[in-house]
Amino acid sequence: MNQKTESENGGVRRILFGSLGLLVLLAAFYYSWVSGHPTSFYPWVIAARMTLQEGLNGWSGVTSEPAGRYDALTGLLIGFVVCPALFFFGWRALRTGHRSRMAAMLLLVVGGAVMMSVFVPSFPDALRSRKRLVEENEHRAAWSAKDNLMQALNIVALDAQSYWIIPPAKGGGNNSFVGYSIPEHLASRGTGRVAIVKLGTGELRLRGWSTAYPESSVLLDLDGTGSRYSFSYEGAFKL
pLDDT reported for residue 39: 44
pLDDT tens, position by position, 60-96: 777 666 556 666 667 677 777 787 888 788 778 777 7
**Half-sphere exposure at residue 27, Cβ-oriented, CA atoms within 13 angstroms:** 8
Mean pLDDT of 12-39: 61
Instruction: Give how far Cα 201 sits from Cα of 12, 23, 174, 176, Å.
Output: 88, 73, 10, 4
pLDDT reported for residue 3: 47
Where is average pLDDT lowest: 23-27, 37-41, 107-111, 180-184? 37-41
pLDDT-based confidence at residue 40 (cuts at 50, 70, 90): very low
What whole-number distance in Å separates Cα of residue 208 and Cα of residue 192? 7
Provide the residue ranges of all domains of the chain, joining segments of one domain with +.
2-120, 140-237
pLDDT tens, position by position, 169-200: 888 888 888 888 899 899 888 888 999 988 87
Considering only residues 153 and 30, tell me which one the structure prediction assigns the higher pLDDT: 153
pLDDT reported for residue 194: 93
Strand order, beta sheet including 188-189? 188-189, 192-199, 204-210, 213-222, 229-234
What whole-number distance in Å separates Cα of residue 134 and Cα of residue 169? 54
Q: Report the percentage of the chain scoring pLDDT > 90.
A: 8
